Amino acid sequence: MKSDDRIDAGNKRAPTEAILFGIAPTGDPRTAAEVLHELQQLADTAEFLTAGCMVQHRRHADPNSYFGSGKLEELAEVVRLAHSGAVICDDSLTPNQAKTIEAAVKVPCIDRSELILQIFGMHARTPQARLQVELAALQYEMPRLRRRWTHLERQRGGIGLRGGAGEKQIDVDRNLLRTRIAAVNRELSRIAQHKVREVAARPELFTIALVGYTNAGKSSLMNRLTEAGVLAENRLFSTLDTRTRPWRLPGGRTILLTDTVGFLRKLPHQLVASFHATLEEALHADLLLVLVDASSPEAAEQLRTVDEVLEQLSAGALPRITVLNKIDMVADRAALAELWRVEPHAVPISVKTGEGEPELLATVQSHLATVENRLSILLPHTAGALHNEIRARATVLSEFFTTEGCLMEIQASPAVLGRLLATGARIAQPDDLPADEPEGPDRDG
């Protein structure tokens, strides 16, 4: 089998039945299906049918064959009895481990990295996402060329690789891969530069990035708040590119929301590197909303993974609000209480029912109040055109019309305040207040 066929999963094919396998620590009381629950979701998303799960309890994977030899024979027997078309490993395998497993089970062996690459290949929509997936797939291929050619040589009855046609072909392929990798990198950095210019040209709007484990409900929350129409579905990695949409707060202020690619435990390192640029854009945000699927039995572990990835991206210190989503589906109240103990300031919500949305809004607004400045300004009638802009970019705490213009108390970032003062507004003076209003402008809520 050519591994291109596996990575290019965009083509429709009849679902292949697969046996999932992995290792668990000695003494782990979970069933094989529980240990491999996430792998099964991934396999499902990649359109495989799970025909069975097998787990070996051991401390480390065998460096040559992943499973021990007895267990590997058992796996081969199960594959034979179930007539499975593939085996899928819960970890990333070395080319050598994959080769040994395929020789034993006699069907293609797909590892976690390859499975995730397939899913990314299926879901990539924008040119940037497609190139990022292609880059990751090319890098994944590079060390595996030898395995592919060993197969071909064996099929043709060759006598091994040394000096044979396969060896020459590996060199040719390796050069082709290198050339393509360089071209994709060039194209990606062109897109990245364009994005940097785009982000820099954005009006100084407060930006929030939605980050979190895959399937936590980031796109659903974005849709609910902005009516953005982003694809949200019960599959892993629905979103691969970064999308930014305006969120209009009550009162008319607009802040930007950025939806991002979901995180995952044991994400292939090629993909982490490729998607760095996408995430980097999001990580220029002023605030992170870290979404957690509170109904998942793995919620605490998923939150830890998110923390680790944020650390790796040097975004660990960004201000953040943790949001416990899918509260409508939480069955295990004790697990929820435990999450709360770890994240005492987390906001519980349900994007589905709308529960908790007002509290989330209030939390975001009170964060804004702590990081922005308040100022009383006078907007002279001659600068009346700025009025709508102020409403969109700043929180208007009060406003009051006088003969001079509009007297406003506003809260905004120093950049926005600076620009307003440079384009027609001025700082309000005590004598801007009408004589009968010595205490200050009326508050209108």
Task: List residues near ligand GTP by CB under 6 A.
Answer: 212, 214-220, 232-234, 236-239, 262, 325-326, 328-329, 350-352
CB closest to Mg ion, residue no? 239
Q: Using the minimum distance from each CB to Mg ion, give the nearer residue, 222 or 347.
A: 222
Quick one: what does residue 326 bind among ligand GTP, Mg ion, none, with the CB cut-off 5 to 8 Å set by partner type? ligand GTP
Cα–Cα distance measured from residue 78 to residue 72, given in angstroms and rounded to the nearest whole number: 10
Taking the C-alpha atoms of residue 202 and residue 429, their distance in angstroms, rounded to an integer, is 32
Q: How many residues bind Mg ion (CB under 5 A)?
A: 4
DSSP calls for 254-303? EEEEEE-PPB-TT--HHHHHHHHHHHHHHTT-SEEEEEEETTSTTHHHHH
Residue nearest to ligand GTP (CB): 262
CB of 289 to ligand GTP, least distance (A): 11
- Which one of 28-36, 232-240, 297-305, 379-387 is the stretch in contact with Mg ion (CB under 5 A)? 232-240
Least distance between ligand GTP and beta carbon 260 (Å): 8
Q: Which is nearer to ligand GTP, 262 or 268 (CB)?
A: 262
Q: How many helices (H) and strands (E) does the chain have?
A: 16, 14
Q: Least CB distance from residue 422 to ligand GTP, whole Å? A: 39
- The one of ligand GTP, Mg ion, none whose footprint includes residue 244, by CB under 5 to 8 A per kind, is none
Output DSSP code: residue 88: E
Q: Does 219 bind Mg ion (CB under 5 A)?
A: yes
CB of 259 to ligand GTP, least distance (A): 7
Q: Quote the CA–CA distance of 68 and 177 in Å, as a whole number.
A: 34
Cβ count within 10 A of residue 374: 13
- Smallest gap, in angstroms, from Cβ of residue 100 to ligand GTP? 33
Which of Mg ion, ligand GTP, none does residue 356 bind to, with CB < 5 to 8 Å depending on kind? none
The full DSSP string for 369-412 is: HHHSEEEEEEEEGGGTTHHHHHHHHSEEEEEEE-SSEEEEEEEE
**Do 242 and 260 form a contact (C-beta atoms < 8 A)?**
yes
Asked if residues 433 and 440 have their Cβ atoms less than 8 Å apart, the reply is yes
- Near Mg ion by CB under 5 A: residue from 132, 139, 238, 322: 238
CB of 94 to ligand GTP, least distance (A): 28
Segment (H or E) for 103: helix 95-105
> Which one, 41 or 169, has the nearer CB to ligand GTP?
41
Among the listed ranges 200-208, 214-222, 247-255, 420-428, the one in contact with Mg ion (CB under 5 A) is 214-222
Query: What is the secondary structure of 17-82 as a DSSP string?
Result: EEEEEEEE-TT--S-HHHHTHHHHHHHHHTTEEEEEEEEEE-SS-BTTTBS-HHHHHHHHHHHHHH
Residue 239 in contact with Mg ion, rule: CB under 5 A: yes
Query: What is the C-alpha to C-alpha distance for residues 189 and 236, in angstroms, rounded to an integer?
Result: 27
Edge-to-edge strand ranges of the sheet holding 207-212: 243-248, 254-259, 207-212, 287-293, 320-325, 347-348
Min dist CB 347 to Mg ion, Å, is: 19
415 touches which of ligand GTP, Mg ion, none (CB within 5 to 8 A by kind)? none
Nearer to ligand GTP, 65 or 238 (CB): 238
- Binding window for Mg ion (CB under 5 A); candidates: 10-18, 120-128, 215-223, 286-294: 215-223
Whose Cβ is closer to Mg ion: residue 239's or residue 350's?
239
In angstroms, give the least distance from the CB of 269 to ligand GTP: 19
Q: Which residue type occupies 113?
A: S
- For residue 434, what are the CA distances in angstroms to 245, 405, 429? 41, 11, 11
What is the helix (H) or strand (E) element at residue 320, kind and residue range? strand 320-325
Distance between CA atoms of residues 375 and 397, nearest Å: 10
| 22 contact, one of Mg ion, ligand GTP, none, CB 5-8 Å limit per kind | none
Residue 421, binding choice from ligand GTP, Mg ion, none, Cβ under 5 to 8 Å by partner class = none
Least Cβ distance, residue 324 to ligand GTP (angstroms): 10
* Interface residues toward Mg ion, by CB under 5 A: 218-219, 238-239
